[in-house]
Copies of this chain bind each other. A is one copy, B any other.
Amino acid sequence: MERTRRGYHHGDLPAAALAEVDRIVQERGVAAVSLREVARRVGVSNAAPSHHFGDKAGLLTAYATQGFELLAAHLSEASGREDLLSLGQAYVAFATERPGHFAVMFRPELLHGDDPHLLAAGAGAFGALAAAIASVRGMQPHDDVVQFAAAGAWSLVHGFATLWLAGNFAAPVTTMPEADAVRRSIEELVATILEATT
């Protein structure tokens, strides 16, 4: 890093640009991201970022791809224990630790949805979830039962993370760390469903 201190060439503009996108999204929201603002912060000319990312959607697509890769790594760590609750908590923890990425990853209208890197990274993250569920059920990941269960699990933790970050919950949910809140929410939801179906 920092190889050419002040040269015509930045050294690693793509990485620096993604880091600035992250800061801008966290500080002022995704609407505040512009190619010019990124260029300004990195200290290059207006047009420099386009050189690497093509256009604005390309920049955000690279950022979202990075997010899916980070998420997959995050989930893989947690899934070693084959413990579904830990996996769900890891998903929510990712969202709260990297709110910038999380806010962009699921906004297809801002991205190049057909970008192969983006698709691969997204599939990788979902794959970690499906693999853990397949293991619990003793089935293959591509089995329909596993796919539906994975969709349900994803929905649950994704919805929780979204509503938590948007500030839609109130006390008592918001009075504890999000890992505890999501655990209790799942427990009470399951208890309620069981009570309703007996």
Binding site for B on A (CB under 8 A): 29, 31, 83-84, 106-109, 113, 122, 133, 136-137, 144-149, 151-160, 162-163, 166-173, 181-182, 184-196
Contact of A193 among B172, B190, B195 (CB under 8 A): B190
Q: Are B149 and A189 in contact (CB under 8 A)?
A: yes
Q: Are A172 and B147 in contact (CB under 8 A)?
A: yes
Q: Are B185 and A152 in contact (CB under 8 A)?
A: yes
Min CB distance, A116 to chain B, in Å?
A: 16
Question: Considering the chains assembled together, what is the distance between the CA atoms of A170 and B156 in angstroms?
Answer: 17
Residues from chain B with a CB closer than 8 A to the CB of A189 are 148-149, 152-153, 156
Residues from chain B with a CB closer than 8 A to the CB of A196 are 83-84, 136
Q: Are A155 and B159 in contact (CB under 8 A)?
A: yes
Q: Are B156 and A195 in contact (CB under 8 A)?
A: no
Residues from chain B with a CB closer than 8 A to the CB of A153 are 189, 192
Q: Are B168 and A163 in contact (CB under 8 A)?
A: no
Please give me the residue from chain B that is nearest to A149 by CB atom: B188
Q: Are B188 and A152 in contact (CB under 8 A)?
A: yes
Min CB distance, A167 to chain B, in Å?
A: 6
Question: Considering the chains assembled together, what is the distance between the CA atoms of A146 and B31 in angstroms?
Answer: 36
Question: Considering the chains assembled together, what is the distance between the CA atoms of A154 and B156 in angstroms?
Answer: 8
A156 and B152 contact, Cβ closer than 8 Å, known pairs A137-B192, A190-B190, A192-B84:
yes
Residues from chain B with a CB closer than 8 A to the CB of A31 are 31, 109
- A167, A171, A187 pick with most chain B CB within 10 angstroms: A187
